[in-house]
Amino acid sequence: MFKDFIKNKKILITGGTGSIGSQILNALIGFKPKMIRIFSRDEYKQYKLRYKYSDISNIDFFLGDVRDSESVLVASSNCDLIFHCAALKHVPPSEEMPEEFIKTNILGSLNVKKSAIKNKVPITISISSDKAVDPANLMGLTKAVQEKIFSSHLLKEKTPGLKFVNVRFGNVIGTHGSLFPTIYHQFKRNKPLTITDPEMTRFFMSQKEAIDLIFWATIHGNDGDIVVKKMKSAKLDNIIKNFMAILNIKKSYPIKYIGIRVGEKKHEYLITEDNLYRTKEKDGYFIVSPYKSSDIDKNLIVKKTKTLTERNNFFSNSWKNFMSDKEIKKYIQSYIEEANGIDSIL
């Protein structure tokens, strides 16, 4: 279905040289869109992508920053679809340099929204994170605001024929600086394994699952929706245990406990308490509907038809959501195969 939908469309990917942006590009190529624009500020990564896809003629590269409204406006002209992936995403730097995260994640998202409206781009997909749920750090706060920026289109602008949809990720396995690469490369380089808290839990999804979520939301999401994959979670110590089993690492391997870092939470939720009453499930995805104008006019939350205990269904430390060892091993093996493939190329 998505292949037919995307054929002959003109697509912009902001942050198109990043982990998710480049994966979207790779997936889109086989669907034969009319044009794909890669928009990012990283000249070197653009050079590498130009080389990788040198035999494909329908990819254009735009150097620019989402902080620059004029650059975004030019890059999004005559587009049918925007995948907004540009973001600063690491928690510790967000606590140290909040202004930079505000400029990119909030003001940059405003520029994307305004440009999409001005250029009458029919669909914009915004990439968010479960860290936007009850945020404990600046990065999560900026993502929560980013979601509101795009969801508010239904309330305020109501531009006919345009829709803005948020997708909310868990931890995407294999992205730059994420957990799996950190563990794998510490083992591979015989470095002591650094552990924050062995009881810490996170929701996980593969890069393919992340792309599937984005593409599903593109077709099925309505204006203002937040779409979340129905993910499973795991404890940090279970992930490490299964890594050690697969790599034949001895139990005596040196481990350094560093404690929970600034801005980190021990556990995560997929939805907020407020989301709970506006959430439905379809095809393995949770869809959170936006506020409607009538909700704002009445200044009243709709009748709570669900209990707060049901929110535990969206809690990373709920036993109902835990992956089995078999499921964890499958993710690990897939990651190692992909990592070794990349290493062999480099």
Per-residue pLDDT for the chain (346 aa), expressed as one digit of tens each? 788 899 899 999 999 999 999 999 999 998 989 999 999 999 999 999 999 999 999 999 999 999 999 999 999 999 999 999 999 999 999 999 999 999 999 999 999 999 999 999 999 999 999 999 999 999 999 999 999 999 999 887 778 899 999 999 999 999 888 899 999 999 999 999 999 999 999 999 999 999 999 999 999 999 999 999 999 999 999 999 999 999 999 989 999 999 998 889 999 999 988 888 889 999 999 999 988 777 777 777 665 666 667 888 899 999 999 999 999 999 999 999 988 865 443 3
Residue 312 pLDDT: 87
Answer whether 149's CB lies under 8 Å from 100's CB: no
Residue 346 pLDDT: 35
Q: What six digits make up the tokens of 114?
A: 């305004």
Three state DSSP letters for the chain: CHHHHHCCCEEEEECCCCHHHHHHHHHHHCCCCCEEEEEECCHHHHHHHHHHCCCCCCEEEEECCCCCHHHHHHHCCCCCEEEECCCCCCHHHHHHCHHHHHHHHHHHHHHHHHHHHHCCCCEEEEEEEHHHCCCCCHHHHHHHHHHHHHHHHHCCCCCCCCEEEEEEECEECCCCCCHHHHHHHHHHCCCCEEECCCCCEEEEECHHHHHHHHHHHHHHCCCCCEEEECCEEEEHHHHHHHHHHHHCCCCCCCEEECCCCCCCCCCCECCCHHHHCCEEEECCEEEECCCCHHHHHHCCCCCCCCCHHHHHHHECCCHHHECCHHHHHHHHHHHHHHHHHHHHHC
Answer whether 214's CB lies under 8 Å from 226's CB: no
The CA-based angle 35-221-18, given to 5 degrees, is 50
Residue 148 annotated in active site: no
Alpha-carbon dihedral of residues 213, 215, 219, 225, nearest 10 degrees? 40
Closest-CA residue to 181 (of 137, 266, 243)? 243
Residue 301 pLDDT: 67
Residue 309 pLDDT: 74
Predicted TM-score of the model (pTM): 0.94
Residue ranges of the domains in the chain?
2-171+204-231+269-314
Residue 38 pLDDT: 98
Closest-CA residue to 208 (of 336, 13, 33, 20)? 20
The domain made up of 2-171+204-231+269-314 is a member of CATH 3.40.50.720: yes
Residue 232 pLDDT: 97
Q: List beta partners, residue 227.
A: 167, 287
Residue 13 pLDDT: 98
Marked catalytic residue, from 10, 131, 143, 265:
131
